Structure 1
């Protein structure tokens, strides 16, 4: 496939693996890149900037194809050393960075000086326009269906993608709710130039999480996610399990973040993914789990999605021929 996204990223297919905390490691990123898509290492999955440097080097031993690094910038009382992570990315010769969270304008100049292409993930057209003005090369637009933080506007991709395409001059990558060739075909029909998938790549053989978690997600339906932190205006879509059910119930009773903090601690989610305890912590997952029923290799998944996308586009064309 050849689109503005493949030309920008140098990949065979316009498919990007989302940068997922605890999941975006060299094992998954290299497998995705070897399959012809763009694998993404998640910077903050690594405890220190030096650990990120080692992970980038490790990924290079596993693939000779393009891969990128996600750097999610979030407000915090004690923020991670973002500048140090950024320096490692630049010093390591990485050529593609996916940013998310706050506006990346403070980092873009430095990244551009090193010839790095920047894809910014956002959840609204207004934020996408701001990122375009700041100089990013492409925008990954995240609809309400997505895993993680869908923003507070609750706009699904059937509206959000064409609205972004209409407003932006840079390439638009559809993100959220896509897990098969039908979703990819639909994204193209809506004007997107590529797709970004997180949850679907979680449920692959190479994803560094316990098989119990993969099987639970593959067996789940489209109604098996919860929206937590709604009352705190920091909405997150996660897998419906005992922990997220409890958080929702506590919020309905007026609980503040400090009261739910022990339940949603990142270390609990990390441990659940590693040990396979389905109810052990918060597990990010999108509504697309309702369309997923197997655990393929990344290579098989990418080839299947591309083939199915072409088939669905042909079938749609025949309807109006």
Structure 2
């Protein structure tokens, strides 16, 4: 059943990871993914104190006894973050898998490795992946240009970036950016990845804590309905095309500074929007894979369909085209 280095190391049934998404990757979604055989992830910084993260981990443990991980993203913020305190919670709660992203996690690697925590570092270039390998990360999740959120500044698509990373690295690679169905899953394995990381696709599931208006918008959207903002700040982010994103892009094109843009970039707007369903008043990280989303299944249905259809692709289509 798709036995890879990822399933063997993490103790999961299928090599499918639910990415760490701000405000969305909470206990209910993470536990549902883990229960369905993948790896669920809770996003630590969705909680403004380490104590609240501890409560969320406890909640997830009541929902599943299967492995799940925690995402910790190291990014500059207006509010200083006590990362050591969040890591202490991760350690104290017995979490054995962490997904790091953003800045280099090297200052925290000793504490993580001393507590036998498997480190998956998400990055957007081969050079950053090589650095992650050097500092002792166990996996890299390589994010292609199609991805939701921050794709970096190199603009290299997953079709190229994944095999390049596989060629250069000695540690296993996870494919991230552009994956949401069985076809992409099989393609990622063919490119040399040990599994896939999916974000946008999991937003359009019944367990995702997102207003139905937003899920409906994802179903309606095409692959051309994402856009890049914050390019002028060298902090590029791929988001769902809406009035708010269009306004930000217009301001950037007119030379707006970070000071002027900051109120519009606040993540708290996104938190409010996923509660109220106002699809035009905040930035929503969204990958180009949105063009492949046509329904809102349960997490279990989504994962089981991907696995079933992937087996059919391999056994029926790929096997039959070999003479």
TM-score (norm. length: structure 1): 0.98
Q: CA deviation at 1:193?
A: 0.6
Q: 2:28 & 2:18 partners in 1: Cα distance?
A: 12
Task: Tell me which residue corresponds to 2:146.
Answer: 145
Q: CA deviation at 1:316?
A: 2.1
Q: CA deviation at 1:77?
A: 5.2
List structure 1 segments (4+ residues) > 2 angstroms apart after TM superposition. Answer: 75-79
Spell out the pairing of 1:177-196 with structure 2 (5 A cutoff).
177-196=178-197
Task: Tell me which residue corresponds to 1:267.
Answer: 268
SS in structure 2 at match of 1:21: coil
CA contact (8 A) 1:69 1:97 kept: yes
Task: Tell me which residue corresponds to 2:281.
Answer: 280
What RMSD in Å do the two structures reach over aligned CA positions?
0.9
Task: Tell me which residue corresponds to 1:250.
Answer: 251
Task: Tell me which residue corresponds to 1:233.
Answer: 234
Task: Tell me which residue corresponds to 1:111.
Answer: 112
Task: Tell me which residue corresponds to 1:96.
Answer: 97
Q: 2:76 & 2:265 partners in 1: Cα distance?
A: 17
Q: 2:275 & 2:16 partners in 1: Cα distance?
A: 26
Task: Tell me which residue corresponds to 2:12.
Answer: 11
Task: Tell me which residue corresponds to 1:308.
Answer: 309
Residue deviations 1:53-88, cap 9 Å, x none?
Answer: 111011000001100000001123542111100111
Q: 2:312 & 2:232 partners in 1: Cα distance?
A: 43
Q: CA deviation at 1:228?
A: 0.2
SS in structure 2 at match of 1:121: strand
User: Which has the higher mean CA deviation after the structures are superposed, 60-69 or 305-314?
Assistant: 305-314
Task: Tell me which residue corresponds to 1:209.
Answer: 210
Residue deviations 1:142-196, cap 9 Å, x none?
Answer: 0000000000000000100000000011110000000000000110111111000
Task: Tell me which residue corresponds to 1:24.
Answer: 25
CA contact (8 A) 1:271 1:280 kept: no
CA contact (8 A) 1:19 1:40 kept: yes
Q: CA deviation at 1:317?
A: 3.0
Q: CA deviation at 1:233?
A: 1.0
Q: 1:126 & 1:302 partners in 2: Cα distance?
A: 32
Q: 2:275 & 2:77 partners in 1: Cα distance?
A: 26
Q: CA deviation at 1:229?
A: 0.5
SS in structure 2 at match of 1:61: helix
Task: Tell me which residue corresponds to 2:75.
Answer: 74
User: Which has the higher mean CA deviation after the structures are superposed, 231-240 or 309-318?
Assistant: 309-318
Q: 1:256 & 1:173 partners in 2: Cα distance?
A: 36
Q: 1:86 & 1:204 partners in 2: Cα distance?
A: 29
User: Which has the higher mean CA deviation after the structures are superposed, 74-83 or 55-64?
Assistant: 74-83
TM-score (norm. length: structure 2): 0.98
User: Which has the higher mean CA deviation after the structures are superposed, 303-312 or 159-168?
Assistant: 303-312
SS in structure 1 at match of 2:63: coil
Task: Tell me which residue corresponds to 1:122.
Answer: 123
Task: Tell me which residue corresponds to 2:319.
Answer: 317
Q: CA deviation at 1:8?
A: 1.1
SS in structure 2 at match of 1:140: strand
Paired residue total = 321
Spell out the pairing of 1:162-173 with structure 2 (5 A cutoff).
162-173=163-174
